Structure 1
């Protein structure tokens, strides 16, 4: 699947009447997608942009966003998907910005802004005589930049070579037995872009939903049988399915990635979405690294997947030396060495856990999320409780949002306190919640704090230092 783009172009010729992209109110066939890619490619090529320059795509509509992104790849121009609020924050020099009318209110001609209008996507009445520039070639050539999920509010930019992007897209492929694949837009992140390209390269139908409510409607209306969701998206979908009483008998497989899967979330998804749930662990740099069925994850807390062929994963100590099998440390990964590639460096992503001799990956949390003591002890192998608490409050008490901290009580021989910030959660009872948590093996005195909003960074990651400051301010108000 390293030639994923050729697979997409082949589908536009081989099955032009088949559905490529489906939204609630429209359908785009593979033939229409191919015509739009060609039209956009010629229009962009006419601008004579520097192939070594970087072009930003700032288009809200996911279908059009994908089309322009693929057109840039078709003519060998590097691209990055951004949103209007990213202006001036990505730290890269842009040769041009291809955007819609909304982007035109933020970017100006001085930014190299080019408005992409409706006629760009229409089939050309006559193909120009001059040929298009060649597409990308060469495994190591940088072809795209992506915003990673990260843990900070500032977008972090990741460079993709042709080979690395192909491998990451290949790692998402698993659509042979499905009909319709639903994902929610997030094409500025590598997760969303690779899922979308993987579906199209597999010649399946990619469904886009812009909200949890729309996703539930589309699953019921079109009989969608496969769902891809980040952890935060899955929480929102389970909440909506529970509130609406939706019957999603057609949904056969749910794949969740991008966070630690908790018991509260997996059990809720099994009841309200479907029972066949696959948990995936991956990185922005390498793609999907490990996978395990939810049944295995529920049996063995901390398990997040079995390492995929072609990758290596290991834990490392603070001094950078590798840990033994089953020894806790900082989880790192790399592509396996082979005669064609040589040896890649290990990538570090801030997760803490261990790798078994059999290739099982266990993650207890992110270093930025809880107390350092939770990670430095080789004796304690419990998953950080904050994730379970947050999902439980949002799913069982229908909180719009919630975030938790585990803090020391400040006095000797007193159990820790569990501080929970909630948004629009009037029914939560700290005593009842404390009892439920104890039954789940989470001990601590629960304290609830009502806040206007949870501090979250890019891709919805909770900002723990800001959360602690917010709770302190709420206590002292």
Structure 2
């Protein structure tokens, strides 16, 4: 692969150097400069900057007629599409906050999230799933006859609100405390506002794909959006659009790498400047394979959470010197690794990872439906790790119970609650087992009186109650007690026994 002459520098400008503008006016700014430049490509159709800005302004005025006001939340539960992004920017244009949601959520799960969010409007094609909340299909949010001129600039109090199942099995919403602003002339991470192309193969209802895709559009990049991930199609699009920025999770990396060699060799991906992976641990062998394929200076990893309370970063060159590390703490944050009693761990001692933004606790997010876990002003995502003498973080585990399957968070308590509602189930324990494709697959151990279980009926039962990616891919039945009288379970032991087997 041809290497770029000058590798990107993943640096961020100082706050004092930035001139933030409301997210809702960014597309108008770029459209005024070059209306015919490509802005968004999707399934063979490319919208120019002028076309995209026009559609966003029409949607904004339609949303306004539907009652959306500054300070509101607007839930967007749609598949990946230009409409999803148009609605996000239209929401910002009104000074409101977009809340991306999966369109595949069962009605019961969606209801729990909406009850916390209390949105002014839910954009969803199956309006019946929204319950009593005001809902409209996507087509109802676009009036082709509406005024498409720029709206007065308004700034949303929150950039976004992202839903999560929560470690307790109850839904929660993570509200971004940053206002809806960005500098159209100062892209972060070394991106270039003219000529750079970013491809997003991930679902827009996840925080990282949503945020990076929207920021890229706001910075004037050409964005290539996939309706859903397909490994071969991803390579074709990279070649077709000369993609320079690729954001993905390790499951996507694995599926691309697993393609036949003749398929991978068929496409020219030499345009790639940065391959950034997020959301889940990347197996060392897979990371090494990508480094060998596209070059060490091209591969980047970010470890953080939707809460943005802190994080680390590392590039491929550094990773070769520190194999297995997720990097050093990002600028603007402090990191500590603490023992259970809250005392600091020694170098290379494993403990729980805590972060604090230099701006202070609570400046990056707030929960709806949950409380943060903190020691003083330092908060944790619940992950375990160690820091070496050079300040590089190595993860020991990704949260005590949480399962990372295909880059998505699956909380056992939520899945167990759904399983336990099935007739005949006395108890269940959900664990993650190693999977070459997904990283971890969801496995359910189900206790019944006689050790028998109708797995087909249970799977159908769960399909109506929890999202597809959370549903167990394998089951086993047992008559043995899974929990003691206090309700405690040796989850790690159960997992270890099955991994050994």
TM-score, normalised by the number of residues in structure 1? 0.69
Show the counterpart of 2:251: 232
Report the counterpart of residue 116 of structure 2 in structure 1: 92
1:70–1:281 Cα change, 3 Å = same
Corresponding residue number in structure 1 for 2:61: 42
Q: Does residue 1:192 correspond to 2:209, yes or no?
A: yes
* C-alpha distance in 2 between matches for 1:323 and 1:475: 30
Q: Which runs of 5+ in 1 are unaligned?
A: 371-385, 395-399, 406-450
The offset of 1:9, in angstroms, is 3.6
Deviation at 1:119, TM superposition (A): 7.6
Distance 1:271 1:461 in 2: 33
Counterpart selection for 2:78 from 42, 45, 59 = 59
Alignment of 1:252-263 (within 5 A): 252-263=273-284
Q: Does residue 155 of structure 2 align to residue 136 of structure 1? A: yes
Provide the aligned C-alpha RMSD in A.
4.3
2:190 aligned counterpart, secondary structure: coil
Who is 2:219 aligned against?
202
Task: Give yes or no for the alignment of 1:211 onto 2:229.
Answer: yes
Q: Is the 8 A contact 2:335 2:353 kept in 1?
A: yes
CA distance in 2, matches of 1:253, 1:283: 21
Q: Which moved more, 1:55-64 or 1:91-100?
A: 91-100
Match of residue 355, structure 1, among 380, 387, 394: 387
Higher RCO, Cα 8 Å, sep 6+ = 2
Shift of 1:117: 1.3
Shift of 1:331: 0.8
Alignment correspondent of 1:145: 161
**1:349 Cα offset (Å):** 0.8
Deviations 1:214-267 (A, max 9, x none): 212211222212211122222223223657334333333211111222212112
1:278 to 289, 297, 300: 300
- The residue that corresponds to 1:331 in the other structure is 353
SS of alignment partner, residue 116 of structure 2:
coil
Give the Cα separation in 1 of the matches to 2:99 and 2:141. Answer: 22
CA apart distance, 1:173: 3.6
How far residue 159 of structure 1 moved from its aligned partner, in angstroms, is 0.9
Alignment TM-score, normalising by the size of structure 2: 0.66
Equivalent residues, number: 393
C-alpha distance 336-359 of structure 1, shift in aligned 2 (>3 A): farther
Residue correspondence of structure 1 range 1-400 to structure 2 within 5 A: 2-3=20-21, 5=23, 6-49=25-68, 51-84=70-103, 85=105, 86-90=109-113, 91-101=115-125, 103-104=126-127, 106-107=129-130, 110-117=132-139, 120=142, 122=144, 124=146, 135-136=154-155, 141-142=157-158, 144-148=160-164, 155-163=171-179, 173-176=189-192, 179-209=196-226, 210-212=228-230, 213-240=232-259, 242=261, 244-246=263-265, 247=267, 248-271=269-292, 275=296, 276-286=298-308, 289-337=311-359, 345-356=377-388, 358-368=390-400, 390=434, 393-394=436-437
CA 70–368 in structure 1, closer or farther in 2 if over 3 Å, else same: same
Q: Is the 8 A contact 1:20 1:200 kept in 2?
A: yes
Counterpart-to-counterpart distance in 1, 2:279 and 2:62? 36
Say which is worse superposed, 186-195 or 323-332, in terms of deviation: 323-332
Flag the 1:57–1:120 CA change in 2: closer, same or farther, 3 A: same
Unaligned 5+ residue runs, structure 2? 1-17, 365-375, 403-430, 444-458, 477-490
For the 8 Å contact 1:238–1:273, the answer to whether it is kept is no
